Amino acid sequence: MKDRIIEIFKRAKKIEEFEGKEVIFLEEEDFKTLWGMRQKDIDGLIQEGNTPEYAKKAAMRDYFKLINPVLKPVKVVSFNYKQAYSMVRTKEIILEKYLESDFYKWANHLRKETKKFIKDFVNDEKEVKKVMDEVEEKIKQKKKILDEILKNPDKYELLRTDVEFKDTIYQPVLNVRVYNPDTKVLEPYVYNIYLRDKVPNVVWEWKEPIPKKRRPRPILDGLKNYENVFGKIYIKRNK
């Protein structure tokens, strides 16, 4: 199977690279061959008892990613970027939906990771107690901050984001519109499809050229005045 896929890729009419991601443009026949191989793999995974959602996501993942959302050619609008981070600025939503649950998720994760560290690297019982006591003290201090925010929310500006935990806060995408060769009409909707690492991203394209967008400016500067208190929660004390 792998040799067959390699032979198909060798016949590519064009190969692009964007942010280290490889995009292979195939003619109709070769693209449809890969589409059929992927569909056969999906059917096999479903027969093995997997859900259709998992099967569609996992099928042929180690070999390629098909950019086209349907079995029709697409018009490649541009190489672009799409945000891959969360950002919640509304205090009421953070207080109601995230603040307490994020604290307990953070605390439980910290305990879990600490126990894993102790199991791998700490043998002395006194040192084990010392490490766990330090973790519980840290959680205790953060709990005080949580309680203070809940008691006096007007004293704080709140922000919830995972920006600092992301290796890349803007992911490269290929923007495409589905083209109907029968009617010669493009769908108005633009699909923003993430480009995958390590395997080729495969396109059956109807037309070109393909403009490339400049990388967006990072947003980390906006966090400079905020303090990360736990997990994804940031605060700024009002003056």
pLDDT per position as a tens digit, 99-151: 999 999 999 999 999 999 998 888 888 899 999 999 999 999 999 999 999 99
pLDDT-derived band at 210 (thresholds 50, 70, 90) equals low
Quick one: pLDDT at residue 206? Answer: 77
pLDDT-derived band at 208 (thresholds 50, 70, 90) equals low
* Furthest C-alpha separation in the chain: 76
Element (H, E) at 46: helix 28-47
Q: Are strands 201-207 and 65-66 parallel, antiparallel or unpaired?
A: parallel
Which amino acid, 103?
F
pTM of structure: 0.66
Nearest to 105 by CA among 235, 229, 234, 230: 230
**What's the CA gap between 174 and 24, in Å, rounded?**
12
- Averaged pLDDT for residues 166-172: 81
For the chain, the structural domain boundaries read 2-84+167-207, 87-161+220-237
pLDDT in tens, 70-99: 999 999 989 999 888 888 999 999 999 999
Quick one: pLDDT at residue 164? Answer: 83
Element (H, E) at 158: strand 156-161
**What's the CA gap between 93 and 158, in Å, rounded?**
10
Q: Which residues pair with 15 in a beta bridge?
A: 24
Inter-residue contact 205 to 71 (CB < 8 Å): no
pLDDT-derived band at 169 (thresholds 50, 70, 90) equals confident
